[in-house]
Structure 1
């Protein structure tokens, strides 16, 4: 597998280690931007339209105009065509507010477009997660938005990895289960799949959305609701969903061991595999 990251910025392919952004880009100075990460399957982008729609929801939440999809498509074509076909990988496009002052005020230079792509290895069959002492703020201006301001996630993930886990789990300020740093969380209680409602402030994950749709279509009961953090101490199964994770079983939460995959998680995995194999842009 190649470790090469293909990079395109505002109309041109650039080396991954070459400077390509202005020092005063608002995405650099204050993290003012939005991004999407998509799965690449045999050189094609999975669920592309859903990702575009979420990008525009994030940009609107930031007070920025909708993205120019034709510009993004130009970048996508450039990075996907810049080498051998990527069989399994990650495509990311980032849109920043463009040049701005050294502060929270914005300039009016127009937005910056960045597209990257790379092969990635598949995840292990199951994962350990750790809860963290920090919370998501369900009343934050950026709640539920996929912005480039990821410092909280960096800190939380380092905390989890120091404890032998590879993903961190946040609650919110109401002590409700919320999400992980780069994935959504589901629990199984008495045979029913449950996941935090969007009112608890998780990101509206594309894989989360499709998992709910496809599991329900397969006859699996899925409930979106506010869940206490303590559900992680009593639930029967846990799994994560994410762009390149798909449906990913959890075998340990903090010090608590769990079956991975449990019987319900296995059914959800089967429903995902069957449905996702039929369409690249569901």
Structure 2
């Protein structure tokens, strides 16, 4: 299926121009975004995603997004794309100078673009380690910004090695996250995910995993882990799982080109997540 586009207050044709060449999102990556899974024509966990969109915009110094406008745009693209599997909300600083500085607040006109399109979901994932790191002390650590060049490079390397995700450490050698996913390590029957202080994104799926694991009586908590814990995954004494809006909860079946066992608690968490998601589209 093709991508359906909403911008400037209406649905757009695929060949229409939806942003100016001096949009700050294009010139300097000044913007934030959200990606939601779509089930049965409805965006999953939309309220939580919009809450994070607002937090990211505030962290970047952008005006607060108009939630009613975003919801109107979301309804429009999903009505026009009933078989969509993914919703993408992009919110930028709008027209601005060619440098990193913004226009005065009174002159700012943020750009909102909402897209609906296809998505492919796999039950398991294939991951590799890469040499680059997340900066947990970055000015935009934990914000979901459109400045994704680091992720593009790291994910391209993962694909070059036959994987579908790259796993990153932070600057102090702790396990951090994937390019578009959070990581969960199953150790001795407990699901462990790096704390937000590691520099990882506050993933919506990660958030729900921790909540729903508690409800289901599955042991899960935040815990700082050394990047070398991935050696335990290769050795078979621990297991790795990725979480994300399109992946949901996806146990890792291959790490660095080597097949690894799926963790039993991780597999059960995947089942619980899918069941809960089917019961409530906006938890």
TM-score by length of 1: 0.95
Matching residue within 221, 229, 245 for 2:247 = 245
Please list every run of 5 or more consecutive structure 1 residues that lacks an aligned counterpart in the other structure: none
User: Matched residues in 1 for 2:121 and 2:59: separation?
Assistant: 32
Q: CA deviation at 1:267?
A: 1.4
Q: CA deviation at 1:80?
A: 1.2
Instruction: Quote the residue 1:173 is aligned against.
Output: 171
What SS does structure 2 have at the residue aligned with 1:101? coil
User: Matched residues in 2 for 1:250 and 1:17: separation?
Assistant: 39
What does 1:137-148 align with in structure 2 at a 5 Å threshold?
137-148=135-146
Instruction: Quote the residue 1:94 is aligned against.
Output: 90
What SS does structure 2 have at the residue aligned with 1:60? helix
Which 4+ runs in 1 deviate beyond 3 A? none
What SS does structure 1 have at the residue aligned with 2:5? strand
Q: Which moved more, 1:172-181 or 1:233-242?
A: 233-242
Q: Which moved more, 1:167-176 or 1:268-277?
A: 268-277
Q: CA deviation at 1:126?
A: 1.5
Q: CA deviation at 1:227?
A: 0.7
Instruction: Quote the residue 1:113 is aligned against.
Output: 112
**Contact 1:11–1:74 (CA<8 Å) still a contact in 2?**
no
What does 1:16-95 align with in structure 2 at a 5 Å threshold?
16-83=14-81, 85-86=82-83, 89-95=85-91
Instruction: Quote the residue 1:270 is aligned against.
Output: 271
Q: CA deviation at 1:268?
A: 0.7
Instruction: Tell whether 2:227 aligns with 1:229.
Output: yes
User: Matched residues in 1 for 2:264 and 2:255: separation?
Assistant: 18
**Contact 1:32–1:97 (CA<8 Å) still a contact in 2?**
yes
**Contact 2:162–2:257 (CA<8 Å) still a contact in 1?**
no
How many pairs were matched up? 276
Q: CA deviation at 1:271?
A: 1.7
**Contact 2:33–2:144 (CA<8 Å) still a contact in 1?**
yes
User: Matched residues in 2 for 1:158 and 1:246: separation?
Assistant: 21
**Contact 1:58–1:145 (CA<8 Å) still a contact in 2?**
yes
Please list every run of 5 or more consecutive structure 2 residues that lacks an aligned counterpart in the other structure: none
Instruction: Quote the residue 2:121 is aligned against.
Output: 122
**Contact 2:163–2:257 (CA<8 Å) still a contact in 1?**
no
TM-score by length of 2: 0.94
User: Matched residues in 2 for 1:117 and 1:205: separation?
Assistant: 20
Q: CA deviation at 1:26?
A: 0.3
